[in-house]
Amino acid sequence: MGIFKLSLVFIFLSFLKLHSQHLDDYKLWLKYNNIEDKNLATDYSNITNSIYLPTTSEIYTNTKKELSTAIPQMLGRESTFTDALRPENSLIIDLYDNLPKDLQLKVEREFKNVSNEGFLIKSVKYNNAPITIISAKKEIGILYAVFRFLHLMQTHENLKEIDLIDSPKLQLRMLNHWDNLDRTVERGYAGFSLWNWQKLPGYIDERYIDYARANASIGINAISLTNVNANALVLTPMYLEKVEALANIFRGYGVKVYLTARFSAPIEIGKLKTADPLDVAVQKWWQNKAKEIYTFIPDFGGFLVKANSEGQPGPQNYGRNHVDGANMMAKALEPFGGNVIWRAFVYSEHDDTDRAKQAYDEFLPYDGKFMDNVLVQVKNGPIDFQPREPFHPMFGAMKKTPLVMEFQITQEYLGFSTHLVFLPKLFEEVLDSDTYQKGKGSTVAKIVDGSLYGNKLSGMAGVANIGTDINWTGHPFAQANWYGFGRLAWDPYLSSEMIADEWLRATYNNDQEFIEPVKKMMLMSREAVVNYMNPLGLHHLFDTGHHYGPGPWVNNLGRPDWNPVYYHKADTMGIGFDRTPTGSNATEQYAPYLANLYNDPKRIPEEYLLWFHHLPWDYKLKSGESLWDGIALKYQKGVNQVSEMITTWNNAKPYLTEGQYKEVEMLLQIQLKEAKWWRDACLLYFQTFSQRPLPAGVEKPANSLEYFESLKFPFAPGIRPQWD
């Protein structure tokens, strides 16, 4: 064979390897790899030898399916399933109410602490033999328990003496897809939308089932299918039929469907002249619409609404307010048990108040005025999903209204699906933040789970990072962000470290020598991206529209608050946004303790310094460095951290397949290149104001400022056409 042919064969083989890697990535954290440790495998075999699981419902059937997929893969042998209890059963799975009395007695005490969607997994002695009981109040709890049980097997936990109860702390654990009906995904970096509207309802893609399995495995129980910049067509019968087909799949995994409702739908698809929420015909239209939707989807979740925000229609178009709008829809959904999730992401083009203050100003007066089935969904920070923001001041201040935390899992401002950034670290930082609104310890987590003020509803939403890419999320490590979001929506008190640990084990392998350094890399990755993009409280330095790469110089967009210069305010005197009483006074929206802390540049945590203060270039940081040097060194540090990530990944090579190694290695190299781009572009630009040299240790920029300013990306992914 000639050299040419040989290399063709080689290319083909490497393609096959990479391709099979991608197929493996498709399985997410549900890989169910073969367990090589003989002792462990024997223990697990004994526990799962004969399984009692009555298949009386769809959820139970799906539960059984999962067990019969997972166990043979992990243990190399099948389990026996019985529909009726038998003496040989080693694993007994059923609702508590259905268990025979003597088995109930074995778990009665623990079971008292299991809530509605929670579960219990416990090993007990029964007829002198060890058995394991998996039980719950509702079928969905059984499915969650089995997923957890399989996860514990995947992560090689000792299950011989298991005694575990767990219940979700939030009611609504939701993904928000920003998917358009033409299958583009706003801010989507992992291909097109999963929802194949053209082929629905007739064609059910296997992928819908795998998507639902993945969600159920981490406890996600709601999804909104469509973009918040909504198209009213999804509310027409033609689309409702398609939505119904999806809802029918998801129901078997405990996932409810929500839709985004365009406020002007009564005009666009209802032929009315107005969408005024106080107009009786409009109210009637929404009531009829709700009724119609429930004929298709009897357990429909409700509406997610973006109104009077970034050009979307809303009640203010008719001189009405958010309460008028939200309550009108809530009233329509109420008879059927549906909710309205009303977004608080608002900032007006007619208001020149600091954008960071506007949502709070607009919503606080309405606290207590929304109907009981309205939840207000608030982004984690007051601007817009930046690499770091202080928590949104509405958390803690708005006491009577249940607030849904909105995180962004898709990495619009965090390097798209090219950069490895472990977001649970960011989520954890926000959830652990103390609002001090009801004294010390009033954390955001306690507001979100409803415990601080006793709100009846609670929830967390994540803007999905999922698309048609074979590996679902573009970057293999971005799967960890979907996973981690689900885990924190289940329990907002979990640590990001634990989440990284369990995700790595289920996704890659259980070798401690692999886990420890790679986990460290994940936990550091979030700070790295803050350092090389937006250090010391800087924010929104992103290039126009697409938000790919740096654009701190952008100053020509239609609205002042769309321009990066609005946010960094760099001038010859210094840099940063003064949000203290000498500036916009956004700090007044926080509890007095925090307001005082944030107002004082000497005491404020330095990661928020330039969010709240405009300071001179020679301002002395805690380290003793000048502000200019400190900023420059942070950018350099971010770049160095990415280099360290590459070293860590190279060292992990012996624990990875060629495909696993290669795909992340290539992405990390791009990340390094782009981290340098951020450093060089931002420092060169800020240097035009600071007029100071780069401090020792900061690499010289590879290109000129003009070069960086000239870069254009008309086809960057995820942009919505109307932004152009």
Could you tell me which of 515, 507, 512 has the C-alpha nearest to residue 151?
507
Number of residues that bind ligand BDP (CB under 6 A): 11
Shortest Cβ 583–ligand BDP spacing (Å) = 24
User: Given the complex with ligand BDP, which of 25 and 384 has the nearer CB atom?
Assistant: 384
Q: Which long-range contacts (CB under 8 A, 24 or more apart) does 653-662 make?
A: 655/508, 655/509, 655/511, 655/513, 655/514, 656/508, 656/514, 657/17, 657/21, 658/17, 658/21, 659/17, 659/18, 659/20, 659/21, 659/22, 659/24, 660/21, 660/24, 660/476, 660/508, 662/18, 662/21
Residues 468-497 that bind ligand BDP (CB under 6 A): none
Question: Per residue, what are the HEC states of 168-190?
Answer: CCCCEEEEECCECCCCCECCCCC
Does the annotation count 310 as an active-site position?
yes
Shortest Cβ 381–ligand BDP spacing (Å) = 11
Among 122, 177, 262, 306, binds ligand BDP (CB under 6 A): 306
What is the rounded distance in angstroms from the CA atom of residue 641 to the CA atom of residue 635?
10
Does the annotation count 108 as an active-site position?
no
**701 to 720: interface string for ligand BDP, x by CB under 6 A:** -------------------x
Catalytic residue among 43, 310, 367, 588: 310
Shortest Cβ 390–ligand BDP spacing (Å) = 17
Shortest Cβ 567–ligand BDP spacing (Å) = 14
User: Given the complex with ligand BDP, which of 254 and 459 has the nearer CB atom?
Assistant: 459
Shortest Cβ 115–ligand BDP spacing (Å) = 32
User: Given the complex with ligand BDP, which of 135 and 229 has the nearer CB atom?
Assistant: 229
Q: Count CA atoms within 13 Å of residue 707 on its CB side.
A: 9
**395 to 424: interface string for ligand BDP, x by CB under 6 A:** -----------------x------------
**217 to 246: interface string for ligand BDP, x by CB under 6 A:** -----------xx-----------------
- Does residue 385 interact with ligand BDP by CB under 6 A? yes
Q: Which two tokens stand for residue 598?
A: 């944030």
Catalytic residue among 166, 186, 362, 384: 384
Question: Per residue, what are the HEC states of 638-662?
Answer: HHHHHHHHHHHHHHCHHHCCHHHHH
Residues 342-361 that bind ligand BDP (CB under 6 A): 345
Shortest Cβ 407–ligand BDP spacing (Å) = 11
Query: SS3 of 715, please?
Result: coil
What is the rounded distance in angstroms from the CA atom of residue 393 to the CA atom of residue 430?
11
Shortest Cβ 406–ligand BDP spacing (Å) = 8
What is the rounded distance in angstroms from the CA atom of residue 492 to the CA atom of residue 152?
20
Helical packing angle, 496-507 and 512-533, nearest 10°: 120
User: Given the complex with ligand BDP, which of 187 and 262 has the nearer CB atom?
Assistant: 187
User: Given the complex with ligand BDP, which of 385 and 577 has the nearer CB atom?
Assistant: 385
Could you tell me which of 178, 490, 192 has the C-alpha nearest to residue 306?
178
Residues 107-146 that bind ligand BDP (CB under 6 A): none
User: Given the complex with ligand BDP, which of 28 and 228 has the nearer CB atom?
Assistant: 228
Query: SS3 of 624, please?
Result: coil
What is the rounded distance in angstroms from the CA atom of residue 278 to the CA atom of residue 287?
13
Q: Could you give the maximum distance between any two Cα atoms of the chain, in Å?
A: 82
User: Given the complex with ligand BDP, which of 180 and 321 has the nearer CB atom?
Assistant: 180
User: Given the complex with ligand BDP, which of 229 and 531 has the nearer CB atom?
Assistant: 229
Could you tell me which of 264, 260, 265, 270 has the C-alpha nearest to residue 302?
260
User: Given the complex with ligand BDP, which of 139 and 186 has the nearer CB atom?
Assistant: 186
Residue nearest to ligand BDP (CB): 384
- Does residue 186 interact with ligand BDP by CB under 6 A? yes
Could you tell me which of 698, 412, 710 has the C-alpha nearest to residue 553?
710
List Cα–Cα distances, 15 to 123, 471, 661, in angstroms: 46, 16, 14
Shortest Cβ 177–ligand BDP spacing (Å) = 12
User: Given the complex with ligand BDP, which of 229 and 455 has the nearer CB atom?
Assistant: 229
What is the rounded distance in angstroms from the CA atom of residue 582 to the CA atom of residue 597?
15
Catalytic residue among 412, 469, 527, 543: 412
What is the rounded distance in angstroms from the CA atom of residue 674 to the CA atom of residue 668?
10
DSSP classification of residue 36: -
User: Given the complex with ligand BDP, which of 228 and 681 has the nearer CB atom?
Assistant: 228
Shortest Cβ 715–ligand BDP spacing (Å) = 17
Does the annotation count 606 as an active-site position?
no
CB contact at 8 A, 312 and 306: yes
Among 64, 169, 187, 526, binds ligand BDP (CB under 6 A): 187
CB contact at 8 A, 368 and 416: no
CB contact at 8 A, 21 and 659: yes
Shortest Cβ 267–ligand BDP spacing (Å) = 21
Residues 74-93 that bind ligand BDP (CB under 6 A): none
What is the helix (H) or strand (E) element at residue 685, kind and residue range? helix 658-690
Among 384, 527, 561, 629, binds ligand BDP (CB under 6 A): 384
Shortest Cβ 244–ligand BDP spacing (Å) = 26
- Does residue 611 interact with ligand BDP by CB under 6 A? no
Q: Which residues are paired to 173 by β-bridges?
A: 460
- Does residue 362 interact with ligand BDP by CB under 6 A? no
Q: Quickly list DSSP for 286-327.
A: HHHHHHHHHHH-TT--EEEE--SSTT---GGGGT--HHHHHH
- Does residue 322 interact with ligand BDP by CB under 6 A? no
CB contact at 8 A, 226 and 259: yes
Q: Which two tokens stand for residue 137?
A: 């109040």
List contacts with ligand BDP (CB under 6 A): 186-187, 228-229, 306, 310, 345, 384-385, 412, 720
Return the active site residues: 310, 384, 412
